[in-house]
Chains A and B, each alone.
Chain A
Amino acid sequence: GENVEQHPSTLSVQEGDSAVIKCTYSDSASNYFPWYKQELGKRPQLIIDIRSNVGEKKDQRIAVTLNKTAKHFSLHITETQPEDSAVYFCAAAAGGFKTIFGAGTRLFVKA
């Protein structure tokens, strides 16, 4: 079955700097890669997603890249702000809607 690995587990950056979170997946059939943000005590919420027919997607300060050959995908947050502090999860889903999550990255943005 699918296995998603996520790094780093913790990331601390200065406000205004960029943050990068990387994930790898094992199932070559995976075709959908969402990223979720979970604030303390709240539910995970989708922030951006990418499908396997696209190599890169951007939404304001957030961008995701996907390398299908290497089976890895990344989240990039530019000009980080304190409100970006949260736990971020990558995920991968193959046919059949089974979404497997990475272990999460706790991002701290220092003001």
Chain B
Amino acid sequence: DAGVIQSPRHEVTEMGQEVTLRCKPISGHNSLFWYRQTMMRGLELLIYFNNNVPIDDSGMPEDRFSAKMPNASFSTLKIQPSEPRDSAVYFCASSIGQGTNTEAFFGQGTRLTVV
């Protein structure tokens, strides 16, 4: 298995534009997490899904952020409109999560720069 796959690896966009980040979890994993990493705030949990259903989105900073998981092998995190303060590295992670907490495997991350 190639692990958790995220795209793009780098994204530079202008303020006000829509940004879509993509994630393919490890096959067989039923929990998926989106994290944002900045120097100031560290690793923040934005939202997580279990069996494709959003369980907790309390970490989503604003209505400009939305996430979907239409099927077990794909998730998106969308920012619309983007702002410079959204610049960060966004990680997707997945875990087996069958009745107990287990290791979360992280993707390579998407480095987002909003200018």
A99 touches B109 (CB 8 A): no
A32/B101 contact (C-beta < 8 A), A43-B91, A101-B42 known: yes
Across the interface, A97 reaches (CB within 8 A) one of B31, B43, B106, namely B31
The chain B residues found within 8 Å of chain A, CB to CB, are: 31, 33, 35, 42-43, 45, 48, 50, 55-56, 58, 91, 95, 97, 100-109
Q: Which chain A residues lie closer than 8 Å to B56 at the CB level?
A: 96, 98
How many Å lie between the Cα of A45 and that of B106 in the bound state? Answer: 7
Q: How many A residues, CB 8 Å from partner?
A: 23
A89 touches B108 (CB 8 A): no
The chain A residues found within 8 Å of chain B, CB to CB, are: 1, 31-32, 34, 42-46, 49, 89, 93-104
A44 touches B91 (CB 8 A): yes
Across the interface, A101 reaches (CB within 8 A) one of B45, B50, B102, B109, namely B45
Distance from B41 Cβ to chain A, minimum over Cβ atoms (Å) = 8
Starting from the known contacts A42-B108, A97-B95, 18 additional A-B residue pairs (CB-CB under 8 Å) come to A31-B101, A32-B100, A32-B102, A34-B103, A43-B109, A89-B43, A95-B101, A97-B97, A97-B101, A98-B45, A98-B48, A98-B56, A99-B33, A99-B104, A101-B35, A101-B42, A101-B45, A104-B43
A43 touches B58 (CB 8 A): no
A99 touches B108 (CB 8 A): no
A34 touches B100 (CB 8 A): no
Nearest first, the 4 closest Cβ-Cβ pairs linking A and B are: A32-B101, A43-B106, A101-B43, A93-B101
A97 touches B103 (CB 8 A): no
How many Å lie between the Cα of A98 and that of B58 in the bound state? Answer: 11
How many Å lie between the Cα of A43 and that of B55 in the bound state? Answer: 24
Q: Which residue of A lies closest to B104 (CB)?
A: A99
